[in-house]
C-alpha cells in the first residue's frame, strides 16, 4: 500500500499548525501574552485547547494499544485521566486562577513566601515536563516509522522542529489557537474511520482472532500478579496526577477569572468523556482484526494499522492518512503545551536577563530551544519504554509532588515552606526513582520491585503525610501573610478586597519589610503595555493605592462597608 497520502496528511497538519500559530503571533505583544495569553481566553476556546494538549500520544495511540494487549484492566487509564479534571474542578481551578500566578513556582512563591520552595518547584516542573515530552517524541517516531518505514528519529525531529516554530514567535497566545484546532482535528480523525470499521465488523462472520492473548486474560480484571496493588496505584496516579501536570495547570491561568476556570473545567470533562470512548473502541476492534500486533510488540500502532487490515485500495489509504494526521496533531499539541510551561519556568528562574519586556521574551525563546533539545536527547535514551507506560510514570510523579502542595496550600493554612519542600523531596524522590529504574531497565524483585513499577500508592500518601507532619512540627514558621493569601485564593473576584500586590513578573523584586502604612509601589514599576485584565484589587493600578506585597494593613472593602482585619 502506498503511503503517499499519509505523508501528505502529516505535512498538511504541520503547515496548518504553523499558519494558525502565525495568526496568534499578530496578537502577542506582552510578557503576559507569552505566558498566559493575557488571561483573556474564553471557556469554550480554553476547553478545546486544554483537551487538545491533554489528549497526547498516550491517549491517541497508547490507550488503544494497552486495551488490545492487556484488556479491561487498562480501562482505568481513560477513566482516571478524565476523572482527574473533576478533582481540578472542585478543589483547584478557581483558587489557582485567583492566585494571579503564571506558573506553579509562582504559586509556591505566593503561598509559601519562600524562594527555596520556588526553586524546588521549578526543578520539578522541568523534570515532569521533560518526562512527558519523551512519549510525545516517541509516538511521533513510531507513527512515521509505521507509515513510511523511516527511522524513528526522523519523526521525532519533525515534531521538535514544528513545536519550536509554533512556540517561539507567539508563546501561549499562538499555542492556544493551535491546540484548539488540534483537538477538533483529532476528534474527526478518530471518529470517521471508526464508522467504517464498525460497519466492517457488522459484516464479519465468526468470533475475534484471539491470536497471542487468551480471552480470559483480556476480559477478567485483576488477573495478574500483584494486580490489586498495581490497579489501585494506577487509579491514584491518574486521579491525582492531572492537577499536578504543569502544562495542564498553566492553562487555568489563562481564564479571565475563577468562574470562567470552573466553566472551562466542566467543558473539559464533557469533551474528554466523549473522546476517550474512541481509543477504547479501537483497542476492542484490534482484538478482532489485528491481535497479532501483541506478539509482534507493536500494540501501540493498532490505531494506525487497523484500516489496512480491514480495507484495501484508496479507502484504506485515505483512512490511514486521516489517522496519521490526527496522531501528528496529538504529538504537536501536547508537546507545544509542555514546552510553553517548562520554558516559562526556565525563563523566569534560570535564564532571565534583566527585568525588561524584551529580555523576558528573549529568555523565553532561548528556554524553548533548550527544552526541545534536551527532550530529544532523553527520547533517544528511553527507547525501550512504551508510550503509555512513560505517561503513567509522569502522572505518578505529578501526583506525588504538586498535587499535595496544591491541595494543602489552597485548603490548609497550616502548610509551611519547610513542610512543602520536605513533601516535594520525599514524594518526588521516590517517584523519580521509579522512573529512572524503569527507563534504564534496573528492575528489582519482591515488593520493592512492585512499588518501583507503580509507585503512586506509596509515594502519594507519603508526600501528603510528610507535608502535614513537618508543617505541624514547624508551625512557628507559617507564612506571615497567609491570611491575605487565603483571601486572594478564595474570595470571589467581584468582592473588592486587599488581595496583595504579588505579580509573577516581579517575584524577585519583593519590597523590603518596613512600615507599610507609607509604602507605595513606584509609578515606574508598572509597565503600561504589560497590564492584564485581572480581578478588582489585584491589578497594577490597585497596587499603587495600597501597601506593597506582604503588608499587614486592614483589608480594603467597598465604600460604605465595614473594614475588617485579615
pLDDT value at position 90?
A: 87
Q: Is residue 423 part of a domain?
A: no
Residue after which a domain boundary falls, among 336, 352, 384: 384
Task: Answer yes or no: do 347 and 493 share one domain.
Answer: no
Range with the poorest average pLDDT among 26-35, 48-57, 194-203, 338-347: 26-35
DSSP one-letter string for 23-34: HHHTT--SHHHH
Look up residue 91 and give its DSSP letter. Answer: I
- Which of 384, 402, 429 is the last residue before a domain boundary? 384
Angle at 61 between CA 224 and CA 189, to 5 degrees: 145
> Where is mean pLDDT largest: 23-27, 257-261, 357-361, 551-555?
257-261
Beta bridge partners of 555: 564
Q: Rounded to an integer, what distance in angstroms lies between the CA atom of residue 415 and that of residue 440?
A: 36
φ and ψ at residue 297, rounded to 5 degrees: 75, 25
Answer yes or no: are the C-beta atoms of 399 and 136 closer than 8 Å.
Answer: no
| Whether pLDDT at 465 is above 90 | yes
- State the cell numbers at 546: 495600597
Express each pLDDT in 249-300 by its tens digit. Answer: 777 777 787 788 888 889 999 999 999 999 999 998 888 888 888 888 888 8
Does residue 405 form part of some domain?
no
Instruction: Return the residue matching grid coordinates 509604602.
Output: 519
CATH number at residue 19: 1.20.1740.10
Residues 497 and 372 in one domain: no
Domain boundary among 384, 406, 432: 384
Verify that 358 and 492 share a domain, yes or no.
no
Residues 378, 488 within the same domain: no
Residue 562 pLDDT > 50: no
Shared domain for 44 and 181, answered yes or no, is: yes
Q: Which of 413, 73, 405 is nearest to 249 (CA)?
A: 405
The number of folded domains in the chain is: 2
Instruction: At 201, list the grid cell.
Output: 465488523
Query: pLDDT tens digits for 42-95?
Result: 888 888 888 988 888 778 888 898 888 888 888 888 999 899 888 888 898 888
Q: Are residues 338 and 484 in the same domain?
A: no
**What single string gives the DSSP state of each residue in 380-442?**
HHTTTS-HHHHHHHHHHHHHHHHHHHHHHHHH-TT--HHHHHHHHHHHHHHHHHHHHHHHTT-
pTM of the model: 0.78
375: how many CB neighbours lie within 10 A of its CB? 25
Cβ neighbors of 313 (< 8 A, separation 6 or more) are none
In a domain, 130, yes or no: yes
Based on the domain organization, do 41 and 166 belong to the same domain? yes
**Residues spanned by the domain of 546:** 480-509+516-566
DSSP 493: T
Alpha-carbon dihedral sign for residues 511, 515, 516, 521: negative
452 three-state secondary structure? helix
Candidates 254, 405, 263; CA nearest to 337 is 254
pLDDT tens by residue, 356-394: 566 777 887 888 889 999 988 888 876 666 666 778 888
For residue 463, being part of any structural domain is answered with: no
Question: Does residue 410 lie in a domain region?
Answer: no
CB 39 within 8 A of CB 254: yes
Mean pLDDT of the residues in the chain: 78
* CA gap 424, 401 in Å, rounded: 5
Q: Which three cell numbers stand for residue 526?
A: 508598572
| Residue 209's pLDDT band (cuts 50, 70, 90) | low
Q: Is 564 helix (H, G, I), strand (E, B) or coil?
A: strand
Whether residue 126 is found in the same domain as residue 11:
yes
Q: Is residue 391 part of a domain?
A: no
Q: Which residues pair with 564 in a beta bridge?
A: 555
**Residue 436 covered by a domain:** no
Would you say 182 and 175 are in contact if contact means Cβ atoms under 8 Å apart? no
Distance (Å, whole) CA 122 – CA 104: 8
> Is residue 247 assigned to a domain?
yes
If asked whether residues 359 and 492 sit together in one domain, one would say no
Return all residues near 296 (Cβ < 8 A) that are at least 6 apart: none
Asked if 380 and 485 sit in the same domain, the reply is no
pLDDT at 12 over 70: yes
Give Cβ neighbours of residue 506 (< 8 Å, ≥ 6 apart). Answer: 355, 525
Q: Do 368 and 251 belong to one domain?
A: yes
Q: For residue 13, which of 152, 182, 157 has the smallest C-alpha distance?
A: 182
C-alpha cell at 237: 496516579
Amino acid at each position: 500500500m502506498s503511503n503517499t497520502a499519509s505523508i501528505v496528511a502529516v505535512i498538511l497538519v504541520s503547515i496548518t499548525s504553523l499558519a494558525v500559530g502565525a495568526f496568534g503571533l499578530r496578537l502577542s505583544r506582552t510578557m503576559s501574552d507569552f505566558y498566559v495569553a493575557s488571561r483573556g481566553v474564553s471557556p469554550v476556546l480554553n476547553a478545546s485547547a486544554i483537551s487538545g494538549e491533554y489528549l497526547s500520544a498516550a491517549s491517541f495511540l497508547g490507550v488503544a494499544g494497552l486495551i488490545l494487549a492487556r484488556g479491561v484492566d487498562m480501562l482505568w487509564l481513560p477513566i482516571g485521566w478524565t476523572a482527574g479534571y473533576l478533582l481540578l474542578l472542585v478543589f483547584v481551578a478557581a483558587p489557582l486562577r485567583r492566585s494571579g500566578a503564571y506558573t506553579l513556582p509562582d504559586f509556591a512563591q505566593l503561598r509559601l513566601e519562600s524562594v527555596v520552595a520556588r526553586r524546588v518547584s521549578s526543578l520539578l516542573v522541568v523534570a515532569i515536563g521533560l518526562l512527558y515530552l519523551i512519549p510525545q517524541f516517541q509516538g511521533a517516531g513510531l507513527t512515521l516509522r509505521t507509515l513510511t518505514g523511516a527511522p524513528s528519529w526522523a519523526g521525532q525531529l519533525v515534531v521538535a522542529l514544528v513545536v519550536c516554530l509554533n512556540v517561539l514567535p507567539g508563546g501561549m497566545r499562538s499555542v492556544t489557537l493551535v491546540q484548539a484546532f488540534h483537538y477538533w482535528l483529532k476528534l474527526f480523525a478518530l471518529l470517521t474511520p471508526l464508522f467504517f470499521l464498525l460497519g466492517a465488523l457488522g459484516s464479519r462472520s465468526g468470533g475475534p482472532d484471539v491470536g497471542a492473548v487468551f480471552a480470559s486474560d483480556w476480559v477478567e480484571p485483576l488477573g495478574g500478579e500483584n494486580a490489586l496493588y498495581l490497579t489501585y496505584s494506577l487509579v491514584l496516579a491518574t486521579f491525582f496526577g492531572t492537577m499536578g501536570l504543569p502544562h495542564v495547570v498553566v492553562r487555568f491561568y489563562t481564564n479571565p477569572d475563577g468562574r470562567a476556570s470552573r466553566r472551562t473545567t466542566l467543558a473539559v470533562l464533557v469533551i474528554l468523556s466523549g473522546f476517550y470512548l474512541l481509543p477504547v473502541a479501537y483497542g476492542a476492534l484490534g482484538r478482532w482484526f489485528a491481535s497479532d500486533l501483541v506478539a509482534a510488540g507493536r500494540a501501540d500502532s493498532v490505531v494506525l494499522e487497523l484500516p489496512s487490515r480491514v480495507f484495501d485500495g484508496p479507502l484504506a489509504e485515505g483512512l490511514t492518512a486521516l489517522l496519521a494526521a490526527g496522531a501528528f496533531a496529538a504529538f504537536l499539541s501536547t508537546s507545544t503545551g509542555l514546552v510553553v510551561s517548562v520554558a516559562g519556568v526556565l525563563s523566569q528562574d534560570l535564564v532571565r536577563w534583566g527585568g525588561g519586556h524584551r529580555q523576558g521574551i528573549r529568555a523565553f525563546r532561548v528556554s524553548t530551544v533548550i527544552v526541545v533539545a534536551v527532550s530529544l536527547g532523553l527520547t533517544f535514551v528511553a527507547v525501550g519504554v512504551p508510550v503509555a507506560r512513560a505517561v503513567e510514570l509522569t502522572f505518578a510523579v505529578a501526583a506525588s509532588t504538586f498535587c499535595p502542595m496544591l491541595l494543602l496550600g489552597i485548603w490548609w493554612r497550616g502548610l509551611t515552606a519547610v513542610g512543602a519542600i520536605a513533601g516535594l523531596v520525599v514524594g518526588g524522590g521516590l517517584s523519580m526513582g521509579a522512573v529512572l529504574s524503569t527507563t534504564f531497565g534496573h528492575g528489582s524483585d519482591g515488593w520493592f520491585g512492585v512499588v518501583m513499577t507503580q509507585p503512586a500508592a506509596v509515594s502519594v500518601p507519603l508526600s501528603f503525610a510528610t507535608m502535614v507532619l513537618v508543617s505541624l512540627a514547624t508551625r512557628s514558621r507559617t507564612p506571615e501573610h497567609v491570611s491575605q493569601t487565603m483571601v486572594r485564593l478564595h474570595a470571589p473576584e467581584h468582592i473588592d478586597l486587599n488581595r496583595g500586590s504579588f505579580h509573577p513578573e516581579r517575584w524577585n523584586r519583593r519590597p523590603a519589610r518596613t512600615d507599610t502604612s507609607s509604602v507605595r509601589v513606584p509609578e515606574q514599576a508598572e509597565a503600561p503595555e504589560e497590564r492584564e485584565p485581572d480581578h478588582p484589587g489585584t491589578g497594577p493600578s490597585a497596587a499603587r493605592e495600597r501597601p506593597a506585597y506582604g503588608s499587614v494593613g486592614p483589608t480594603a472593602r467597598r465604600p460604605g462597608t465595614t473594614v475588617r482585619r485579615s
